[in-house]
Structure 1
Amino acid sequence: MKSHLDNLPEPRAIGFSANRRLLEVETISQDCSLAEEVFEKVTRAQIVDGKRVSSLRFDDYYRVIGLLQTLCGFLLLPNGFSNSSMRKWMPRILGVPVEQYSSERMTYDLRRL
């Protein structure tokens, strides 16, 4: 590509093409809201394998965030995680005594996911 003025349309076309692709990517990455169906599915109870599973209520914000934060901490472990291993971390994240967070509570929270 030469740098003379009569060659201006060529770099201009390249610039517009790159700008158009960048705007497409930015538009896609900014469209991160939940669709209404997904929002309803997450916030309502469901039947999974014949058993009722409670929903993730948004008034339990700190518990849901704590659960997701704990799961992220165990994400890369080669042997995975167990209810008891997660239960050691959840009370710390929630700021409650260990005695107040039972294994039943951990099971309930995990099933809600």
Structure 2
Amino acid sequence: MTPSLHVDYKHTRIKRYHKEGRALRTETTINDTRDFSIGKRLTNLPAPREIGFTTNRRLLRLQSLSHDPITGADALHALTAPVITATGTRIPGLRLGEQHSHALPLFRLQPNGFANKDIRAVIADLRGIRRTNSPPVR
């Protein structure tokens, strides 16, 4: 299996894949410039090129963030830390380190899909809640 990434926005597509198993290739296709409030005249050609270039750079930056544990830890801290607004209101951060605060218990191949009741059973186990009619978690 060859991994690939496909991102769609209106009439724009980004495809990232391994070309012939030798190189990672990124293709950005803007099929309708009006999706970005740009006209279709040739004089506007640099604008979609700049959008595509910027998008590709952001994708590369995101990938480098996911592969750099130091930068990733800083980004995780920024995401999980509380925020104080200009008016002084404190907004709590996401508590990703605590089991009971998020619903990301399992990553498994589910060829037939899954239902909400399957997730509820796993979450209940993680939180230590006894459920009467829940099937055992495998």
Superposition TM-score, scaled by structure 1 size: 0.34
More helix by share: 1
More strand by share: 2
CA radius of gyration, larger in: 1
Superposition TM-score, scaled by structure 2 size: 0.29
